[in-house]
Structure 1
Amino acid sequence: MPRSSPQKFGFVGLGNMGLPMAHNLEKFLASEGLPPLTLWNRSPSKLPPASKTIAHADSLKALAKDCDVVLTSLAHDEAAREVYKDLFEGARESDGTIFVDTSTLYPTTCGELEREASKIARTAYLCSPVFGPPPLAKDAKLIFVLSGDTFAKRHVEKFLVPSMGRRLIDVGNNVERAAAFKLCGNGMIASIIELLAEQYTLADQTGVGADLLFEFVREFLPAPSFLGYSKKILENDFEGRTGFLVSGGLKDVTHVRNLAQSVGATLPALDAAHRHLVTALAHGGSGLDWSAMVAGPRLAAGLQPFTGRKDHPRDTGFGARTDEESGKGGLEPESVGGIKEVQNF
Structure 2
Amino acid sequence: MASASATNTPLPDLRIGWIGLGSMGGAMAKNIHKYLLSQGRQPIRFFNRTASRGDALEAIGGIRCKDVTQVARESDVIFISASDDKAVKSIVYQILDLGDVADKIVVDTTTIHPDTTKELAAKLSNKGAGFAATPVFGATPVAEEGRLLVAFGGSTAVYEKVAPFLKDVIAREVLVVGEKPEKASLLKTTGNFLMAGLMELIAEGHVFAEKTGLGSAALERLLELNFGPVAYSDSVRMTTGVYAPGRDQAPWSDLDLGLKDVGHGIDCAGRTGVELKVANVAFENMKRAKEYSDKNGGRKLDSSSLYGIVREQAGLDFRTEVVQKRDEEK
Whether TM-score is above 0.5 comes out as yes
Partner Cα separation in structure 2 for residue 52 and residue 216 of structure 1: 42
Partner Cα separation in structure 1 for residue 315 and residue 198 of structure 2: 23
Query: 1:277: how far off?
Result: 0.6
Query: 1:235: how far off?
Result: 2.7
SS class of match (2:265): helix
Partner Cα separation in structure 1 for residue 36 and residue 325 of structure 2: 41
Q: Verify the 8 A CA contact 2:238 2:307 in the aligned structure 1.
A: yes
Within 5 Å, which residues of 2 pair with 1:4-153? 5-48=12-55, 50=58, 53-90=61-98, 92-94=99-101, 96-121=103-128, 123-153=129-159
Q: Verify the 8 A CA contact 1:305 1:315 in the aligned structure 2.
A: no
Is residue 2:235 matched to residue 1:230?
A: yes
Moved over 4 A (4+): 314-320
C-alpha distance 218-155 of structure 1, shift in aligned 2 (>3 A)? closer
| Correspondence for 1:290 | 303
Query: 1:5: how far off?
Result: 4.9
C-alpha distance 116-94 of structure 1, shift in aligned 2 (>3 A)? closer
| Correspondence for 2:261 | 252
C-alpha distance 304-127 of structure 1, shift in aligned 2 (>3 A)? same
C-alpha distance 295-96 of structure 1, shift in aligned 2 (>3 A)? same
Q: Percent identity?
A: 27
Partner Cα separation in structure 1 for residue 117 and residue 102 of structure 2: 23
SS class of match (1:241): coil
| Correspondence for 2:317 | 304
**1:238-273 deviations in whole A, cap 9, x for unaligned?**
236251011111111111111110111121111111
Query: Where does the alignment leave 5 or more consecutive residues of structure 1 unmatched?
Result: 321-345
SS class of match (2:40): coil
Partner Cα separation in structure 1 for residue 263 and residue 70 of structure 2: 34
- When normalised by structure 2's length, the TM-score is 0.88
Q: Which amino acid aligns with 2:34?
A: K
Partner Cα separation in structure 2 for residue 317 and residue 79 of structure 1: 34
Q: Verify the 8 A CA contact 2:242 2:251 in the aligned structure 1.
A: no
- Across the aligned residues of Structure 1 and Structure 2, the Cα RMSD in angstroms comes to 2.2
Partner Cα separation in structure 2 for residue 14 and residue 165 of structure 1: 17
C-alpha distance 318-110 of structure 1, shift in aligned 2 (>3 A)? farther
SS class of match (1:105): coil
| Correspondence for 2:5 | none
Q: Which amino acid aligns with 1:225?
A: V
Is residue 2:201 matched to residue 1:188?
A: no
Query: 1:113: how far off?
Result: 0.4
Q: Which amino acid aligns with 2:164?
A: K
SS class of match (2:55): coil
Partner Cα separation in structure 2 for residue 95 and residue 192 of structure 1: 43
| Correspondence for 2:4 | none
Partner Cα separation in structure 2 for residue 135 and residue 102 of structure 1: 17
Query: Where does the alignment leave 5 or more consecutive residues of structure 2 unmatched?
Result: 1-10
| Correspondence for 2:224 | 218
Q: Verify the 8 A CA contact 1:135 1:242 in the aligned structure 2.
A: no
Task: Count how many residue pairs are aligned between Structure 1 and Structure 2.
Answer: 310
| Correspondence for 1:270 | 279
**1:207-235 deviations in whole A, cap 9, x for unaligned?**
222333333323432x1111111122223
Q: Verify the 8 A CA contact 2:102 2:127 in the aligned structure 1.
A: no
Q: Which amino acid aligns with 1:259?
A: C
SS class of match (2:250): helix
Partner Cα separation in structure 1 for residue 16 and residue 127 of structure 2: 19
Partner Cα separation in structure 2 for residue 230 and residue 116 of structure 1: 42
Q: Is 206-215 or 299-308 further displaced after alignment?
A: 206-215
Instruction: Answer with 1 or 2: which has the greater Rg.
Output: 1
- When normalised by structure 1's length, the TM-score is 0.84
Q: Verify the 8 A CA contact 2:20 2:80 in the aligned structure 1.
A: yes
Partner Cα separation in structure 1 for residue 327 and residue 279 of structure 2: 25
Partner Cα separation in structure 2 for residue 220 and residue 10 of structure 1: 41
